[in-house]
């Protein structure tokens, strides 16, 4: 089977080409870099919540938890619990151990942070939901972290261009019928990637 050489295209206005080797390197390691960067943020911000008056989000987190627990949990306890949870999430993301559980806790925690947009609405919005306050912007940036968590959760590592294993409970989709042999060929290495 022959393949046609990859066609090079001119970069779009304002864009540039990444060399093939760099593009390939970024493709292979971007999810790992994303996982580690989110992990470091969680370790850092979680540790700040364990130190009194160190976290800029301390007051907002305390008030949100107070509303959610109807005032039954003391602010110091809720901050320690949130800080500890964030440290555990960070450690799980950093090490990759118990990653599915870590990501589940991460997504529940992130969904919980968005609750502040409703329970502290007077502090989150400037009259309309189209104009968030600085605190509202701080909470809304969690949508980017949630998206990062989803990207990490749906990523399956590859081994030499092939998925290392099929999803649990499913056979690998090879496109071949029962008993047919499948010839594997490595995917083409991108000559360049366009960044816009």
pLDDT, one tens digit per residue, over 119-129 is 999 999 998 88
How far from chain centre, in Å, is Cα 135? 21
% of the chain residues with pLDDT over 70? 71
How far is residue 41's CA from residue 110's CA, in Å, rounded to a whole number? 13
Choose the weakest-confidence range: 34-43, 53-62, 81-90, 143-152.
53-62
Contact 69, 14 (CB under 8 A): no
Tell me which residue has tokens 């022959």: 2
Contact 51, 75 (CB under 8 A): no
End-to-end CA separation in angstroms for the chain: 34
Token pair listed for 84: 């500890």
pTM, two decimal places: 0.70
Mean pLDDT of the chain: 81
Contact 58, 79 (CB under 8 A): yes
Mind listing the pLDDT tens digit for each residue in 85-98?
Answer: 999 999 999 999 99
């Amino acid at each position: 089977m022959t393949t046609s050489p990859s066609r090079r295209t001119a970069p779009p206005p304002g864009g540039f080409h990444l060399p093939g080797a760099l593009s390939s390197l970024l493709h292979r390691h971007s999810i790992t870099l994303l996982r580690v960067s989110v992990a470091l943020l969680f370790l850092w911000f979680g540790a700040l919540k364990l130190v009194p008056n160190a976290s800029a989000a301390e007051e907002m987190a305390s008030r949100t938890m107070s509303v959610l627990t109807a005032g039954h949990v003391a602010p110091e306890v809720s901050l320690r619990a949130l800080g500890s949870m964030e440290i555990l999430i960070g450690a799980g993301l950093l090490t990759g151990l118990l990653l599915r559980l870590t990501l589940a806790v991460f997504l529940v925690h992130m969904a919980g942070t968005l609750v502040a947009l409703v329970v502290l609405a007077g502090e989150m919005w400037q009259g309309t939901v189209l104009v968030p306050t600085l605190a509202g912007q701080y909470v809304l940036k969690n949508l980017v972290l949630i998206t990062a968590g989803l990207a990490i959760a749906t990523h399956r590592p590859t081994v030499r261009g092939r998925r290392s294993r099929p999803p649990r409970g499913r056979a690998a989709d090879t496109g071949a019928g029962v008993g047919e042999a499948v010839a594997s060929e490595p995917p083409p290495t991108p000559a360049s990637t366009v960044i816009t």
